[in-house]
Amino acid sequence: MRGVVSESFRLYLLVVFILLLCLQDSSCSSLDHLKGSLIKDIKEDTLLPETSPSAAPQPLLPLLAPSPLAPFTNSTSPKLSGHCTLNFDDVKSMLAVTSIDCVAPFAEYLANVMCCPQLETTLVILIGRSSKNRNTLALNGTLAKHCLSDFQQLLVSQGANDTLQQICSLHPENLTEGSCPVKDVHEFETTVDSSSLLAACGKIDLVNECCEQICENAISEAAKRLALKASYLALMDGVDHTAIVINDCKRIVHRWLGSKLEPAGAKHVLRGLSNCKNNKVCPLVFPNMKNITKACGDGMNNQTTCCNTVDGYVSHLQRQSFVTNLQALDCAASLGLKLQNANVSKNIYNLCRISLKDFSVQGQLIVSGCLLPSLPSDAILDKTTGISFVCDLNDNIPAPWPSMSKLPASSCNKPVRIPALPAVASGQISKGLNIWSHLLLSTSIILEMCCIYNAAILGY
């Protein structure tokens, strides 16, 4: 342990030295060389070719990475409102996991597959367990504001990002009953078939549930029964609100399950259902493709130009979000179909050696890309090395180019079913925010900031 601390301290001094050197030196050439050398030292061997973006990509993190352990050893108590009646001690261990899944520098990049599902699940279980004493499965508007604020303050005090409400689109209304007409526990249990609901959702098979939807269907049926009590709301102002009411009632059903199941069991169910939903949709936003269609469309006469353009385009996707292996399959299919509709008929994935990992976050920290598991997963805190998470698909699985005549088949219709891994997947590896990568990333970003600083001072 003493050796690890000693080495990390030496590397920290090197970072400070580089910063001081950079501020005095008007040239970035020697620093760029050092930056490349440092990154190369920790880059794992890979068959995947490095991308060549048309413009230098932004750093993975917009600000300097913090000390990897400081937020998690902070003993400062958060300033709470004093008005929230929820018992946060009921989900103390889940709060700790949530703060790690939503760690400040990476929350935005892990939002879709890890941070927000864990955050929402923790809130559901928190309100559900409190209903045992309060006999209600929802908070009123005023209480919801206080409790949501306190909830975020508790997470931030343990190292979580302080903009989680924005990142996860979380509002006080999400803690209320919304438009669902039932929030009383007794009324809930006399309205729905509680025993059938528990039988379907008490335990779920995470692989089979995504296809067979045994628990999901039971939740939908219960939500519809609750919504029937609001039939007078179904048509207001000429708009059918049925779907909105049912969706709000699903939240009530989730909270009831959170009250009946042990926290670990409730998390297993709710995170599993969340992943089933997330794995069906590509979370990436595809920018304008006109450069690719121009360089790679029919009549393409320069493969190098085409692939450089594709690499530049993909580098923008790699700044958005970590994705699961199944999301990557969907993203590859979605982008491929869009390109084919825009007159790109050649298989440019094969031509330019685009793999599934190219659709997930890459940068100085995760050099070769990382696809997260399609099954629910959490980040891991090690008090000696920092935070890490598990990556799947470490072999180079080529991105499949879709056929225009046949849309991609549902994973449920394939021999390998959601959310199992593609058959060619092999092994797992833990990557992430360890001491060395934090300091290296800090060095890398300092170098880039220095170059920007010098360019501004010298006018070039």
186-233 pLDDT, tens digit each: 999 999 999 999 999 999 999 899 999 999 999 999 999 999 987 665
Q: Which two tokens stand for residue 391?
A: 């990556």
Domain span at residue 111?
70-278
The rounded mean pLDDT for the chain is 76
Mean pLDDT value of segment 165-176: 96
Kindly state whether residues 432 and 334 are assigned to the same domain.
yes
Residue 395 has what pLDDT? 59
Residue 65 has what pLDDT? 37
Mean pLDDT value of segment 173-186: 96
Question: Strands 386-392 and 428-434: what pairing?
Answer: antiparallel
User: How many CA atoms, within 13 angstroms, populate the side-chain half-sphere of residue 5?
Assistant: 5
Q: What is the DSSP letter of 172?
A: G
Residue 189 has what pLDDT? 97
Residue 274 has what pLDDT? 96
Kindly state whether residues 59 and 85 are assigned to the same domain.
no
Residue 15 has what pLDDT? 43
Instruction: State phi, psi for 355 to the nearest 5 degrees.
Output: -110, 170
Kindly state whether residues 229 and 292 are assigned to the same domain.
no
Last residue of a domain, one of 249, 278, 307: 278
Last residue of a domain, one of 278, 307, 327: 278
Question: For residue 398, is the peptide bond before it cis, meaning its omega torsion is within 30 degrees of 0?
Answer: no
Kindly state whether residues 256 and 293 are assigned to the same domain.
no
Residue 88 has what pLDDT? 95
Q: Which two tokens stand for residue 390?
A: 């598990």
Kindly state whether residues 365 and 253 are assigned to the same domain.
no
Kindly state whether residues 375 and 243 are assigned to the same domain.
no
Burial class (CB in 10 A: 0-12, 13-18, 19+), 207: middle
Neighbours of 176 (CB within 10 A): 19
**Residue 433 or residue 293, greater confidence:** 293
Query: Cα 201 vs. chain centroid, distance in angstroms?
Result: 25
Kindly state whether residues 269 and 311 are assigned to the same domain.
no
Determine which of 218-232, 354-368, 404-418 has the lowest per-residue pLDDT on average: 404-418
Residue 233 has what pLDDT? 55
Nearest to 364 by CA among 32, 100, 99: 32
Q: How many domains does the chain have?
A: 2
Confidence at 382, pLDDT banded by 50, 70, 90:
confident
pLDDT digits (tens, 9 = 90+) for 312-345: 999 999 999 999 999 999 999 999 999 999 999 9
Residue 458 has what pLDDT? 29
Kindly state whether residues 295 and 403 are assigned to the same domain.
yes
Collapsing DSSP to helix, strand or coil, 114 comes out as helix
- Percentage above 70 pLDDT, the chain: 67
Distances (CA, A) of 191 to 197, 201, 225, 253: 12, 17, 7, 11
Kindly state whether residues 136 and 56 are assigned to the same domain.
no
Mean pLDDT value of segment 430-452: 34
Collapsing DSSP to helix, strand or coil, 212 comes out as helix
Last residue of a domain, one of 224, 252, 278: 278
Kindly state whether residues 127 and 264 are assigned to the same domain.
yes
pLDDT digits (tens, 9 = 90+) for 240-277: 678 899 999 999 999 999 999 999 999 999 999 999 99
Determine which of 36-40, 124-128, 341-345 has the lowest per-residue pLDDT on average: 36-40
pLDDT of residue 453 exceeding 90 = no
Residue 384 has what pLDDT? 77
Kindly state whether residues 347 and 298 are assigned to the same domain.
yes
pLDDT digits (tens, 9 = 90+) for 43-102: 333 222 232 333 333 323 222 234 445 555 555 678 899 999 999 999 999 999 999 999
Residues 115, 168 contacting (CB under 8 angstroms): yes
Query: Cα 164 vs. chain centroid, distance in angstroms?
Result: 12
Mean pLDDT value of segment 433-460: 32
Ordered DSSP codes for 247-290: HHHHHHHHHHHHHHS-HHHHHHHHHHHHHHHHTTS--PPP---H
Residues across the chain: 460
Question: Strands 323-324 and 371-372: what pairing?
Answer: parallel
pLDDT of residue 299 exceeding 80 = no
Kindly state whether residues 204 and 91 are assigned to the same domain.
yes
